[in-house]
Structure 1
């Protein structure tokens, strides 16, 4: 899936499903400069490299929402291949980065390449990340993991939210240091405040809008939390 809308700062994107979990690795690029960032390279590094080459892009950095293996497994490999820096997640996900080898043993051969990485810059609420002429806002949205962040491009009204929110669902909170109440707060008090017309790319499955989920999501919508 790709988007070539000519917005004020000309952000384009392509979703690249990777790993057996069909994780929505996202390639963002600046239409003017052709400089790019990859969000959550969980695996299938050849597919990601092929998309970058096909579009004639220059990868500038790797961005991580959280450090579960299906989102971060190929981070070290991709950053090393291009010689670029890694930004994200929040420092509270360091323990998940440290556990990448353990995660690899659990899931087997599909993640044989996974390796612990060192983030060049942990992110927190209020930070921004940039590539080309594009600036993304960072929002800290713990709950699925304690160090989960999301990326928002205000001009395009487009967010990449990892495993915080899905079309019709929300992220799991039964992993170590997950917390359901914290996740609901992150969605209601961070994501939904960005605007009903904001489209979002989830970590898995189809895109939606915050307004649609606020109206209909059975876990975090207005009806689910007793609001009208």
Structure 2
């Protein structure tokens, strides 16, 4: 059981030309860590893991877009080799499998290199609880940006890793063939806002925010 007074450390690492927020999360005592949404630039992520002398327990994916998942395959291979034990890729919901399996094709369309399609070791479902870093990470399915988008909530530190669902002052894009704006807004209202005003929201792009700020000021939620 972790010390309820000890917070986990988080370093946000902007990766890929799209400047996606990859989150490196770790316990300062055990030096065990998670990597959330490694979209690319795995060498940069590995350098930060080494700089903090960390052992990565798992790689978490909020959804299947290439800027969030394009580095997961290579990072899994590198960490497994470095640590001498398998490092699983966990998430998102299986409904994003079509995106994860076409990362290379989509990257080529955008002129991006080094991104590899990935097959997660485990898909997640709404309501799953992941025991990682001595904590319980709650999985919430919040579709609309993509069909299988999930977010990861850590209730002890009151932190939400939101992917591309909720940003400071806006919400994720839904102008994809598989996107759905009303579904995303409903998911934010029914899954994210009830977590509580004190929750820190770490989005997939841009600056952190809080549930309180977005409830009060986000024009999509008024």
Partners of 1:21 and 1:59 lie apart in 2 by 24
- Write out per-residue CA displacement over residues 192-211 of structure 1, whole angstroms, 9 at most, x where no aligned residue: 00001101100000000011
- CA distance in 2 between partners of 1:18 and 1:101 (Å): 17
TM value normalised by structure 2: 0.93
Consecutive unaligned residues in structure 2, runs of 5 or more: 81-86
1:9 CA displacement: 5.3
Q: For residue 143 of structure 1, what is the aligned residue in structure 2?
A: 144
Partner in structure 2 of residue 44 of structure 1: 41
RMSD: 1.3
CA distance in 2, matches of 1:153, 1:176: 31
Maintained 8 Å contact 2:9/2:27: yes
Moved segments of 4+, more than 2 Å: 6-10
Partner of 2:182: 181
Does structure 2 retain, via aligned residues, the 8 Å contact 1:35–1:131?
no
Equivalent residue of 1:101, what SS? helix
CA contact (8 A) 1:30 1:134 kept: no
Give the corresponding residue for 1:19.
Answer: 16
Mapping of residues 84-99 of structure 1, within 5 Å: 84-99=87-102
Q: Number of paired residues?
A: 214
Rounded Cα–Cα distance in structure 2 between residues aligned with 1:21 and 1:137: 27
Identify which of 74, 79, 82 aligns with 1:77. Answer: 74
Please give the secondary structure, in 2, of the residue aligned with 1:219: helix
> Which ranges in structure 1 are unaligned for 5 or more consecutive residues?
1-5
8 Å CA contact 1:168–1:217 kept in 2: the answer is yes
1:121 lines up with 2:122 in the alignment:
yes
State the alpha-carbon separation in 1 of the partners of residues 29 and 134 from structure 2. 7
Q: Provide TM-score, normalisation by structure 1.
A: 0.90
Residues 110-151 of structure 1: CA deviation (Å, up to 9, x unaligned): x32211111111011111223331221111110100000001
